[in-house]
Amino acid sequence: MAAVTERFMHLSRPLGPQQAGLQSSIAPLGVNIQPQAILSILDHATRRDVRDASQPSRVIGALVGTRSEDGTEVEVRSCFGIPHTEEEDQVEVDVEYQKNMLALTLKANPREALLGWYTTSLELNSFSALIQNFFGSPDTGTFPHPAIHLTVSTDPSTAIETRCYISAPVAVNSERAAESCLFMQVPHKMLYGDAERSALGAISAAKDNENRNAPLVSDIEALGASIEQTIGLLDRVSEWVNGVLDEDEEPNAALAQFLMSTLSLAPKVDPEQIEHDFNNHIQDVLMVGYLANTIRTQIDLSQRLATANIQIGEKEGENKNEGDKDGQRGGGKRGGRGGRGGGRGGGQQREPREPREPAE
């Protein structure tokens, strides 16, 4: 997984500020991040304001998603950027913007809620604490649930690293409570479902291209690529096995065991049975293809006849009517016996389409 986090001891969640009568859970917290959230963050990072050199290179934004019922698992589904400025001693976050944007986002996805915030540098500083307290506060934030803070390193020279935190209030005195907090790391992982695989696959196809572009390929091309890759892998395994047999490679019991159990999964079937099933099925498939194309031809013909300028006989309207009937008879037969209708329809004279206007 992309977001393999370093191994660390995950203790129970720290207690938030206790409000009267509210007992918040102290169960450990797990964070699942969906790829679109990460992509959104990376996109935002590339769109930061570079005109003003005094501004920090990091950007911040809010995380939106769902919580499990007991609040121990959260899923970050989307996020949006928030404009902010940082100066020597003060940080300004566009609170109004955050409020409006959150309302807009939730309007489209009513089941989601504000979860926390992200920033695009790994650094935690006193501004982080200030913003964290803003996002965790009862009025504007996620209280009674803890606000999650996700940091994504976007330094071009290093690998992209993600870390996830929650916080506990800590301060030497009450005046300073607003600008300090204790960040505690929590485990997180990037999750993607089967539905997202196709999009991620298409994106990954571009990763080795220098121009970072990849055309969307047709199914059959993708199939070709998959088959080639599988054959490559199989070749590699058989090469290794041969190597072991020729005593070139070090044998490995675990791998052999794994291969044996995999090979035993292959079904044992009668070759005749296969031949039979195969022929049946392929005929069905080809038939469907044939019929679908017949139907297309029929409809095409019907459309052409409907607008064709037929100049036999005296009245145009009647001829048109006839043409239509023919097309319809063919189409109405569900393609199966449609060939006849088509033959008859084709007998009518139809005007060949004139070439289109020149392109330039």
Of residues 235-264, which lie at the interface with another protein (CB under 8 A)? 250, 252, 254-255, 257-258
Largest CA distance in the chain: 102
Q: 83 Cβ partners below 8 Å, 6+ apart?
A: 94, 97
- Rounded CA-CA distance 264/124 in Å is 53
Bridge partners of residue 91, in order along the sequence: 86
Shortest spacing between CB 29 and another protein, in angstroms: 23
Q: Is 306 in the site for another protein (CB under 8 A)?
A: yes
Q: Is 204 in the site for another protein (CB under 8 A)?
A: yes
Which residue from 80, 124, 171, 178 is in contact with another protein, where contact means CB under 8 A? 80
Which residue from 320, 339, 346, 350 is in contact with another protein, where contact means CB under 8 A? 320
Which of these segments, 19-27, 106-114, 135-143, 171-179, binds another protein (CB under 8 A)? 106-114
Token digits for 131?
Answer: 């913003």
Q: Is 61 in the site for another protein (CB under 8 A)?
A: yes
- Rounded CA-CA distance 33/190 in Å is 5
Instruction: Give whole-number Cα distances, 30 to 46, 67, 187, 218, in Å.
Output: 28, 10, 6, 39
User: Please, which residue, 26 or 206, has the CB nearer to another protein?
Assistant: 206
Shortest spacing between CB 218 and another protein, in angstroms: 7
Which residue from 15, 22, 245, 285 is in contact with another protein, where contact means CB under 8 A? 285
User: Please, which residue, 18 or 46, has the CB nearer to another protein?
Assistant: 46
CA atoms within 13 A of residue 268's CA, in its CB half-sphere: 1
Which residue from 23, 90, 111, 175 is in contact with another protein, where contact means CB under 8 A? 111
Shortest spacing between CB 53 and another protein, in angstroms: 16
Q: Is 205 in the site for another protein (CB under 8 A)?
A: yes
Q: Is 303 in the site for another protein (CB under 8 A)?
A: yes
Bridge partners of residue 152, in order along the sequence: 162
Shortest spacing between CB 179 and another protein, in angstroms: 25
Q: 292 Cβ partners below 8 Å, 6+ apart?
A: 335
Which residue from 11, 233, 337, 349 is in contact with another protein, where contact means CB under 8 A? 233
Which of these segments, 13-21, 85-93, 131-139, 314-322, binds another protein (CB under 8 A)? 314-322
Shortest spacing between CB 264 and another protein, in angstroms: 14
Q: Is 327 in the site for another protein (CB under 8 A)?
A: yes
- Rounded CA-CA distance 292/299 in Å is 11
Q: 162 Cβ partners below 8 Å, 6+ apart?
A: 3, 5, 33, 38, 150, 151, 152, 153, 188
Q: Is 265 in the site for another protein (CB under 8 A)?
A: no
Q: Is 213 in the site for another protein (CB under 8 A)?
A: yes
Shortest spacing between CB 152 and another protein, in angstroms: 9
- Rounded CA-CA distance 11/255 in Å is 37
Ranges within 126-165 binding another protein (CB under 8 A)? 154, 156, 159-160
Q: 56 Cβ partners below 8 Å, 6+ apart?
A: 86, 121
Which residue from 334, 337, 340, 344 is in contact with another protein, where contact means CB under 8 A? 334
User: Please, which residue, 70 or 354, has the CB nearer to another protein?
Assistant: 354
User: Please, which residue, 18 or 257, has the CB nearer to another protein?
Assistant: 257
Instruction: Give whole-number Cα distances, 359 to 103, 151, 250, 307, 356, in Å.
Output: 48, 52, 66, 24, 8
Instruction: Give whole-number Cα distances, 97 to 202, 246, 352, in Å.
Output: 34, 69, 60
Q: Is 197 in the site for another protein (CB under 8 A)?
A: yes
Shortest spacing between CB 222 and another protein, in angstroms: 4
Shortest spacing between CB 201 and another protein, in angstroms: 4
Q: Are the C-beta atoms of 131 and 178 separated by less than 8 Å?
A: no
